[in-house]
Amino acid sequence: MSAPIKQYALGSIHTFGDQGMFECEDGDYVLHADHLASHQYVEEKERGLCADAMRTQNEQLENNGFQPLTLRQEHAFVAGWIRCAKSRAKAAGCE
């Protein structure tokens, strides 16, 4: 995921290009709806991203001569990932 979008426009300001960006005196803004969409928690998407990260982690472990994650470690990995994703969405104002 790219850097979180911190600034969003609730009102009308000058359009900046055709990508939902806006220009204001103190920085660039995106539409509030786009801000929320970029941080929305989608369980299927997060589980897919988590599975990819876990697969990469296991490959790195095995390539360096270590055992892959155990089932218990995988469950902890997934639980932590999901908590983080929900927290990120809540902090962005999505929940």
Residues 35 and 45 in one domain: no
pLDDT of residue 25: 56
Residues 27 and 67 in one domain: no
Place of tokens 């990932």: 81
Residues 47 and 33 in one domain: no
Check whether 27 has a pLDDT greater than 90: no
* Nearest alpha-carbon partner for 50 in 88, 78, 85: 78
Place of tokens 């509030």: 32
Q: What's the domain count of the chain?
A: 2
Query: Which position has the higher pLDDT, 31 or 20?
Result: 31
Name the band, by pLDDT with cuts 50, 70 and 90, for residue 1: very low
Domain that holds residue 26: 1-39
* Nearest alpha-carbon partner for 90 in 82, 30, 49: 82
Residues 53 and 89 in one domain: yes
Residues 18 and 61 in one domain: no
In 1-95, alpha helices (H): 32-39, 43-63, 71-91
Residues 16 and 45 in one domain: no
pLDDT tens digits for range 58-72: 999 999 999 999 999
69 with 54: CB under 8 angstroms? yes
Residues 6 and 34 in one domain: yes
Predicted TM-score of the model (pTM): 0.62
